[in-house]
């Protein structure tokens, strides 16, 4: 069963190499996490991602492609839809990869919010609104991880 970590607990950088830690979820395994996404993640996972990246909830809604009014309704219902949960997980997965490659959440925040030449001057975080954009960001991170100039 997927449970929420306590909000007071701040995960360490090594733990942040896992998307469920970024979303402050305690999932026993991938199957449990997949089922949680299918049912809809709790709204607190959205808040955790916003807090971890130190960006406004409006910026997160833009990345997820969810209208602000919809987010207000999700806050009231305390649950995201399966599609919104899947998008949120995709962003968390990319953040986890960024933390793993760069070594800290602070470096990951800066990298995700800064224009990147390897991405044509785009800000990596802004590209996470689509699967292809997330794939491009992940490709750059893989090249960085393996020391390939890009």
Q: What is the pLDDT at residue 8? A: 42
The arithmetic mean of pLDDT across residues 90-108, rounded, is 95
H-type alpha helices, 28-130:
30-39, 43-53, 57-64, 68-77, 82-102, 105-113, 124-127
Cα-based angle 94, 91, 29 (whole degrees, multiple of 5): 80
Higher model confidence: residue 17 or residue 88? 88
Q: What is the pLDDT at residue 64? A: 93
Domains of the chain by residue range: 12-145
Q: What is the pLDDT at residue 88? A: 96
Q: Where does the pLDDT of residue 12 fall: very low under 50, low under 70, confident under 90, or very high at 90 and above?
A: low
Please determine, for residue 13, whether its predicted confidence score (pLDDT) is greater than 90.
no
What pLDDT digit, counting tens, does each position of 57-89 carry? Answer: 999 999 999 999 999 999 999 999 999 999 999
Q: What is the pLDDT at residue 3? A: 54
The C-alpha atoms of residue 15 and residue 12 are separated, in whole angstroms, by 5
Q: Where does the pLDDT of residue 6 fall: very low under 50, low under 70, confident under 90, or very high at 90 and above?
A: very low
**CB-based contact 128:90 (threshold 8 Å):** yes
Q: Nearest Cα to 45, choosing from 23, 74, 72? A: 23
In the block, which residue shows the tokens 């750059």?
A: 140
Please determine, for residue 5, whether its predicted confidence score (pLDDT) is greater than 60.
no
Helix pair 82-102, 30-39: axis angle to 10 deg: 140
Measured distance between the N- and C-terminal CA atoms of the chain, rounded to whole angstroms: 41
Residue 122: helix, strand or coil by DSSP?
strand
Q: Nearest Cα to 91, choosing from 56, 138, 123? A: 138
């Amino acid at each position: 069963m997927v449970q929420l970590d306590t909000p007071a607990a701040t995960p360490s950088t090594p733990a942040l190499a896992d998307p469920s830690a970024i979303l402050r979820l305690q999932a026993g395994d991938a199957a449990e996490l997949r089922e949680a996404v299918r049912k809809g993640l709790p709204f607190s996972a959205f808040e955790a991602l916003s807090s971890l990246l130190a960006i406004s909830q409006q910026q997160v809604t833009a990345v997820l492609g969810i209208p602000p009014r919809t987010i207000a309704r999700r806050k009231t219902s305390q649950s995201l839809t399966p599609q919104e949960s899947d998008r949120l997980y995709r962003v968390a997965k990319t953040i986890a990869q960024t933390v793993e490659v760069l070594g800290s959440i602070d470096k990951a925040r800066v990298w995700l919010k800064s224009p990147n030449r390897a991405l044509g001057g785009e800000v990596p975080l802004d590209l996470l609104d689509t699967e292809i954009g997330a794939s491009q960001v992940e490709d750059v991170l893989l090249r960085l991880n393996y020391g390939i100039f890009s």
